[in-house]
Structure 1
Amino acid sequence: MKDETIHDRIARRVRDLRAARGISLEALATQCGVSRSMLSLIERGESSPTAVVLEKLSGGLGVPLASLFDPPEPAASPVLRAADQVAWRDPHSGYVRRNVSPVAPGNPAQIVDVSFPPHARVTYESGPRPSLVHQYVWMLEGTMEITHGDDVHTLHAGDCLAMGLDRPNSFHNPADTPARYAVVLTTDH
């Protein structure tokens, strides 16, 4: 069996989540605003979707974006070793995200480590979801400008921003140096 790539993992997660919800490709395409052909490519692992496309898809599936990177089986151990943490690079902005928390039934939170290139920007069209996702952005290095709806927040190392994923939001690194931050996600059930 070949090693699973991050695109294979995303493909499997999208297929599994869609099947669990009993919705067709057409229905999901309508629900999330991503074309049926793009969804088909993603589900076959033949596309390198951008963060914006994956955010739309996660919204349509009613899960946090981080859930699209989960392994197919819950963790057998409460420890997820650094060597087993899969990294994904957004083909548009170049930002890199890595899920660092083990996936286990009943875990109330997910933790993601993000490295954001200088001057890069990603804008998400987040809207209402079946359950409100709470996101905490804790700056570890550098500076980020984060827009949540109409509110703009400039964060520096050590700062932490709490926000719900219920409005459009944008992440921008205005500096000449990379930024790094941790994201903690929790969901109201």
Structure 2
Amino acid sequence: MKDDSTVNERIAQQVRLLRSERGLSLDALSTQCGVSRSMLSLIERGETSPTAVVLDKLAAGLGVPLASLFDDPARKAEPVSRHADQVTWQDPHSGYLRRNVSPEGFQSPTRIVDVTFPPRTRVTYEAGPRTPAVLQQIWILEGRMQITYGSESWLLETGDCLVIPLDAPNSFHNPGDVPARYAVVLTTLSRS
């Protein structure tokens, strides 16, 4: 597991690179993603560990999957992602732990993330329509999770899998007394 400062620096480098590639000022990105200019500045300097909710807004504003914000822009793409090299990040608000499983640097439309979610914890994302569209499949590996998408809600048990687009508010809640673990498979849908 990489320490927080290393992960924060990766996020900082990736956000600066993506913002530059899109020709956006801090003010323009702030408007586009709904994150304050001062928070964006702190993120780009690696001086804060943003929450999952802030990272999700930032990813939506930049038009990338959240998982890509943890990529090392200087790393050469390799077809194998070794467990020891996979970036692990902990949400400072909820304590949930996410590990990017997919190899970095490939232009694959699919990303895999392994999540360990603490008991009695909830994270709510204010997701709206994304360009390009992103579909997520949530496969419960251990425990159970209550997933809410818009006005619909499902209690998922070990082995269950739910597919939902990332185009409406959604929330993840572990109602149990033990951590839950699940895989998220994110697929960026091609523009037609």
TM bucket normalised to smaller: over 0.9
Corresponding position of 2:139: 138
Instruction: Answer yes or no: is the 8 Å Cα contact 1:74–1:105 preserved in 2.
Output: no
Distance, in Å, in 1 between the alignment partners of 2:113 and 2:165 is 16
Corresponding position of 2:157: 156
Q: State the Cα deviation string for residues 29-58 of structure 1 (Å, max 9, x = none).
A: 011111100000000000111111111111
Using structure 2 for the length normalisation, give the TM-score: 0.94
Q: Which amino acid aligns with 1:12?
A: Q
Corresponding position of 2:188: 187
Instruction: Answer yes or no: is the 8 Å Cα contact 1:133–1:187 preserved in 2.
Output: yes
SS of the residue 1:5 aligns to? helix
Distance, in Å, in 2 between the alignment partners of 1:133 and 1:75 is 25
Q: Say yes or no: does 1:169 pair with 2:170.
A: yes
SS of the residue 1:102 aligns to? coil
Distance, in Å, in 2 between the alignment partners of 1:73 and 1:28 is 23
Corresponding position of 1:108: 109
For residues 7-156 of structure 1, the aligned pairs below 5 Å read 7-73=8-74, 75-156=76-157
Q: After the TM superposition, which segments of 4 or more aligned residues of structure 1 sit over 4 Å from their partners?
A: none
1:128 CA drift (Å) = 1.0
Q: Which amino acid aligns with 2:84?
A: A
1:188 CA drift (Å) = 1.3
Q: State the Cα deviation string for residues 48-86 of structure 1 (Å, max 9, x = none).
A: 111111111111111111111112145442111110011
Instruction: Answer yes or no: is the 8 Å Cα contact 2:78–2:104 preserved in 1.
Output: no
SS of the residue 2:113 aligns to? strand
Aligned residues: 187
Using structure 1 for the length normalisation, give the TM-score: 0.95
Q: Where do 5+ consecutive residues of structure 2 fail to align? A: none
SS of the residue 1:40 aligns to? helix
Instruction: Answer yes or no: is the 8 Å Cα contact 1:75–1:102 preserved in 2.
Output: no
Distance, in Å, in 1 between the alignment partners of 2:56 and 2:170 is 11
